[in-house]
Amino acid sequence: MAPSQAHIPRLLQARLLESIADTPVTLVHGPRQSGKTTFVKAVGQSLGYQYITFDDDVQVEATVDDPIGFVERLGPRAILDEVQRVPHLFTSIKAAIDRNRAPGRFIMTGSANVLMVPALADSLAGRIGMLRLHPFAQAELHGHPAPFLDTLFANGFRASRTERLGRSLTEMVATGGYPEAVARTAPHRRADWLRAHVDTQIQRDVRDLARIRSLEIEPRLLTLASTLTAQLVNVTGLARTLGVARPTIEEHLTLLENIFVLDRLPAWHTNRIKRIARTPKLHVGDSGMAAALGDRDAVQLEADRPYFGRLLETFVFQELRRQASWHEHRTGFSHYRDAQQYEVDIVLERGSHLVAGVEVKAAASVNPRDFVGLHRLHAAAGEAFVCGVILYDGELGYRVGENLWALPIRTLWEGQA
């Protein structure tokens, strides 16, 4: 039986406790149904926080009728859930904080990027800490502390041996990390929930953000994106396929990014200006969601190895992003592709002087040709390059060069015992 999400510790908790100890407002934002409410209520319960949700239309109406009085009636500490639905309340919250700047006054959650709600960003500038809660990482589901990022940037891996994941890896990719999906053991029930969740999320969050009357493009665009995950974004091609104008596709891609269901991974370049002009990669925000939208379960993924390889890349990218979200050091993400078409799936940067690369292979073995892209990235990054890794579904972890490694993919969340 799958564990309840309430019994799976979220590794973002230490960051949340740090934030409420020194900042008046902390916003925990991320995709709907990623576990935000369960997480903040679990933390706030022992600290005396009052809980209010704006998914309740009665509460929303109360804030419209009397925003100042609503805020004044709040207790000394309050959790305000789904605040993107009440942007008119932010000015009153700002006034309350300016009267009393005690840390930890409010914990907010939101299912939309704060930058899409200018009233929140403007009203609470300098008063708010922002944390991103993703769906479950494999490190959380398996109860591991996940030292992968620190080991990567320290080039601290060592030779190791472990068991192949095989079919269980395909199951992990097909399941993804949404708590409700993880809790469903029947693949068809999991897929049904994920598809219904996408429909609900579009109807609620996109309409709230953009006041769009017609939402028919979003499900079609997401379904198409699920087949193109981990590939370069071709906006013109998407527009042609869907029969709409290119600017319309750009607008809808941005909306889907801002409700955390799509990510555009920028291209890496030593010149940061040139990165902006280069073609990003498209990733669906969760591998389980992509599999459900693509109508593929674990059995079908096993049979379609090219698609599974792309979905596995998305799975690894999202696991790395989830681990980075609770790390004290900021990690930047991009992809590498040079003029000769040599590639590295994921480029990670820590600060302005450390660069690492991660390649993802669905195979059970690695050959020297697989490292060409990492060699090219090393040459481009120079002394900033600290480590390159190929993650594959094999048994052996071994060094290939001074700072190049082949590692079993489970090392990503288990570390090296």
Convert the pLDDT of each residue in 336-375 to its tens digit. Answer: 999 889 999 999 999 878 999 999 999 999 999 999 999 9
How does residue 1 score in pLDDT terms, banded at 50, 70 and 90? very low
pLDDT at residue 278, rounded to an integer = 85
Q: Is the pLDDT at 274 greater than 80, yes or no? A: no
Q: Please say whether the beta carbons of 354 and 361 come within 8 A.
A: no
Average pLDDT (181-194) is: 94
Alpha carbon distance 367, 161 (integer Å): 18
pLDDT at residue 117, rounded to an integer = 67
pLDDT at residue 37, rounded to an integer = 96
Which of 98-107, 196-205, 311-320 is the most confident on average? 311-320
Quick one: tokens of 46?
A: 């022992």
Alpha carbon distance 69, 342 (integer Å): 60
User: What b-and-e string marks burial along 239-275, b requiring 16 or more CB atoms within 10 Å of the CB?
Assistant: beebebeeeebeebbebbebbbbbbebbbbbeeeeee
- Taking residue 300's Cβ as centre, other Cβ atoms within 10 Å add up to 16
Q: Which residue type, as a one-letter code, is found at position 329?
A: H
Domain with CATH 3.40.50.300 in the chain: 5-132
Residue-wise pLDDT tens digits, 37-84 = 999 999 998 899 999 999 888 899 999 989 999 999 998 999 999 998
Instruction: Quote the radius of gyration of the chain (alpha carbons, Å).
Output: 22
Pairing of strands 50-53, 128-132: unpaired
Cα separations in angstroms, 332 against 109, 139, 246, 265, 349: 23, 20, 28, 10, 5
The pTM score is 0.93
Q: Give the chain's mean pLDDT.
A: 91
Average pLDDT (1-7) is: 52
| Homologous superfamily of 5-132 | P-loop containing nucleotide triphosphate hydrolases (3.40.50.300)
- Helix, strand or coil for residue 311? helix
Residues in the chain: 417
Pairing of strands 78-81, 50-53: parallel
- Residue 155 region by backbone torsions, left for phi larger than 0, else alpha for psi between -120 and 50, else beta: left
Residue-wise pLDDT tens digits, 387-415 = 999 999 999 999 998 899 999 999 999 99
The residue assigned the tokens 């090393």 is 378
The residue assigned the tokens 């993802």 is 360
- Taking residue 36's Cβ as centre, other Cβ atoms within 10 Å add up to 24
The residue assigned the tokens 């979003």 is 218
Q: Please say whether the beta carbons of 262 and 285 come within 8 A.
A: yes
First CA to last CA distance, the chain: 27
Q: Is the pLDDT at 214 greater than 90, yes or no? A: no
For 135-180, give the DSSP string: SPPHHHHTT----HHHHHHTT----EE----THHHHHHHHH-S-HH
Residue-wise pLDDT tens digits, 116-145 = 666 666 777 778 899 999 999 999 999 988
Q: Please say whether the beta carbons of 148 and 160 come within 8 A.
A: no
**Ordered strands of the 343-350 beta sheet:** 160-161, 396-401, 404-408, 385-392, 354-360, 343-350, 331-337
